Amino acid sequence: MNQQKIIIAIDGFSSTGKSTVAKQIAKHLGYIYIDSGAMYRAVTFFAMTQGFIDLEKFNINGLLSKLKNIDISFKFNKSLGFAEMYLNGENVEKQIRTLEVSNFVSKVSAVPEVRQQLVLQQQKMGINKGIVMDGRDIGTVVFPKAELKLFMTASSDTRAIRRFHELKSKGENVVYEDVLKNVQERDYLDSTREDSPLYKADDAIEIDNSKMSLDEQFTTILKLAEEALNK
């Protein structure tokens, strides 16, 4: 008999390595990995390219008037082993990962109409289960009945160091203090926004990976996933 598939919801603060472990678990289980944060980053990148958001302004009405023109999809890249983000048919995986997009994504994520549209898309993706999705409100809003909910956390310093090295490795010219400031600002915005703020679901298992290696993190979460599958 085929084993019942489940939904694994991974929430948590920015730069806690949610995507890294979600990809690992999805690959191991043969599940589909969905990076919900990338969807918000794609909308943010769209808003930037359309001139709706910059350091001086955020034209929310302008963005909302174009929401229906935004087509977001994931396409699996065999050579990379995971799905990449496409915005209106164009691969934007690299463009959406910049610090500039990071600086605006929490503001765009806080717009109720944006969240409503993306949550509906995310819920459709989970109809047949067998998915691992990470984000800020997956276990609380998108899939409140997910069979396994995790909440990832780590100190802001630890997360800023990880993010700094990640951006440097991609050739970005960044300063550590700017990255730390971005992490702290996103924490505040994500936790205090009115619509779907970031918080730990009552039935979520908290994972503080400040001092965990990637292998330790993967082993810990895989064990939890297998326990959830066996229920």
Q: Residue-wise pLDDT tens for the chain (231 aa)? A: 346 899 999 999 989 999 899 999 999 998 989 999 999 999 999 999 999 999 899 999 999 999 999 999 888 888 887 788 999 999 999 999 999 999 999 999 999 999 999 999 999 999 999 999 999 999 999 999 999 999 999 999 999 999 999 999 989 899 999 999 999 998 998 899 888 889 999 999 999 999 999 999 999 999 999 999 998
Strand, coil or helix: 71: coil
- Model pTM score: 0.84
- Shortest CA distance to 166 belongs to which of 96, 216, 99? 99
Rounded Cα–Cα distance for residues 74 and 93 (Å): 10
Q: Is 9 exposed, middle or buried (0-12, 13-18, 19+ CB in 10 A)?
A: buried
Beta-carbon count within 10 A of 227 CB: 10
Domain edges within the chain? 7-225
| Protein fold of 7-225 | Rossmann fold (3.40.50)
Rounded Cα–Cα distance for residues 44 and 42 (Å): 5
Starting from the edge strand earliest in sequence, which strands make up the sheet with 90-91, in order?
A: 72-77, 82-87, 90-91
